[in-house]
Structure 1
Amino acid sequence: MESDYIKVFGGNVNESNRVEQLLQENDISPIVKSESESARLAGFGTPLPHISEIYVHKDEEAKALKIISQLDWEA
């Protein structure tokens, strides 16, 4: 099944929150997928806690990747 959404980032929750906020500030509506949160809500555990993935619509992929590539992770 083909999706209109593309994964543009994967990382820990803190990094993902930073990327999500930056994308929103640039008028991109990201979808954040957290396996650990989904598992917790369902009553299960997960081998990779606190890992999130960020997806954007394929029409916004290039803009999102450019924004993410310019992030200063040391700040």
Structure 2
Amino acid sequence: MKDSNYVKIYTGELIIVQRMVAELEKIDIIPVLKDQTDSGLLPIFGTSNSLFKQVYIHKDELEKATDVINTFKSELQE
């Protein structure tokens, strides 16, 4: 999403991303999710990274989301 109005705030496993999305939605931020799947490699390796997602939010919402993002990331490091 180069040169867009969105900024990537997290990349990780689907279950964690779903929790982050729920926390962002509590403060009226609707994130955009991008799948990490590289389907061109699927026939070679036989697996997919579809369990990994990238979370983007609009640049205008970044300041509003900062507390949620920081709290969430600090919990993951514990």
TM-score, length of structure 2 as denominator length? 0.72
- Give the length in aligned residue pairs: 70
What's the secondary structure of 1:10's corresponding residue?
strand
What's the secondary structure of 2:24's corresponding residue?
helix
| 1:58-69 equivalent positions in 2, closer than 5 A | 58-69=59-70
- Confirm or deny that 1:26 pairs with 2:23: no
Pairwise CA distance, 1:35: 2.5
**Is contact 1:10-1:54 (8 Å) kept?**
yes
| 1:1-75 equivalent positions in 2, closer than 5 A | 2-36=3-37, 39=39, 45=42, 48-71=49-72, 72-73=75-76
In structure 2, the gaps of 5 or more residues are none
**Distance in 1 (alpha carbons) for counterparts of 2:34 and 2:10:** 10
**Distance in 2 (alpha carbons) for counterparts of 1:65 and 1:54:** 14
Pairwise CA distance, 1:2: 1.2
In structure 1, the gaps of 5 or more residues are none
TM-score, length of structure 1 as denominator length? 0.74
**Distance in 2 (alpha carbons) for counterparts of 1:55 and 1:5:** 6
User: Percent identity of the aligned residues?
Assistant: 28
RMSD (CA atoms): 2.6
**Distance in 2 (alpha carbons) for counterparts of 1:47 and 1:20:** 22
